[in-house]
Amino acid sequence: MADEAEVVEEKKKPSLVITIAAIAVLTVLALGGGWLVGNMLAPPPTDKPAEEVAAAEAAAGGDGHGGGAEGDAAEAVPHISTPANGVVLLDPITSNLAYPSDNRVRLEVALMFKGVPDVVLAEEIHQDIMAYMRTVSLQQVQGPRGFQYLREDLQERVDLRSEGRVTNVMFRSFVIE
């Protein structure tokens, strides 16, 4: 029995140095594996887009227009609402919901007209949408189905108000806070 007691006493927990070394080795392996997988899934970006941007800036500066940054941005991205395409961008609509009344909704809508846009009609539709949004509860617009119902309701109201002159109601943004 004395031999068994000596054997039990000789079994000690691993030393602190061995534990720290094992954790350090596992950490290095995890970092290396993460780096390898990260490079395989998302390789580093190439410098080609930066060269294209520099070439575009050089071309814009070299043609003699000399316009500022605002002029370049206006030429690069056309505005959505123009009389030529028949689209009118309404002012953003911000309103409280019917229930809970402490929630607010912000909505940006554009209207596509048949032919020449009517600004007076667009303003009437804007006011009508704002009045309607004050009657909507949060539960009615939750989820994708609720949003689809909201789109259909607004399209129906716009069709009634415009007597068919507006062909499409386009949501640009929809935020509930």
Residue 111 in contact with residue 122, Cβ under 8 Å? Answer: yes
Name the residue with tokens 């919901």.
97
State both tokens at 156.
């129906």
* 156 has a pLDDT exceeding 90: yes
With residue 90 as reference, give the H or E element that holds it. none
Least confident among 34-48, 53-67, 80-94, 114-128 = 53-67
Burial label, 4 (beta-carbon count in 10 A; 0-12, 13-18, 19+): exposed
SS3 171: strand
Q: For the chain, what are the domain ranges?
A: 2-41, 87-176
CATH class in words for 87-176? alpha beta
Q: Is the pTM of this model over 0.75?
A: no
